[in-house]
Amino acid sequence: MLAKGNADPQVCVGNLVSTWKKEAFYGRRKGIPVKQQDMPFSTAEDQLVSDTEDMINEFEERVEVNDITVNYDEELGTSVNVDVEIINETLDEEEEEDDE
């Protein structure tokens, strides 16, 4: 958690892409699907990009995805990097209630 700015769109996107599905207790649907963890990287890469874009579009309406890259390092594992454009800094109150 940051000292401040936890609700910023970039922070929320970062939290989404650093979480695996079912990892967040109260948000089991949020996160990158775990099915790619056991796939060879060459097979999982396109699926990770597609699933990550779908997840961001579903859970973070304040941004538009420009680009997603997936990298694999033997020591560090898989990392997902997302380039987004903020299209709305805040959500309407009705949209916030719908997300809960």
Q: Please state, in angstroms and rounded to a whole number, the distance separating the CA atoms of residues 67 and 60.
A: 15
Write down the pTM of the prediction: 0.79
Residue 17 within a domain: yes
Residue 99 within a domain: no
Say if residues 17 and 82 touch (Cβ distance below 8 Å). yes
| Residue range of the domain that includes 56 | 9-89
Residue 63 within a domain: yes
Number of independent structural domains in the chain:
1
* Cα 19 to Cα 16, 22, 81, 93, distances in angstroms: 5, 9, 13, 26
Q: Model confidence over 47-100: pLDDT tens digits?
A: 999 999 999 999 999 999 999 999 988 888 888 899 999 998 876 655 555 555
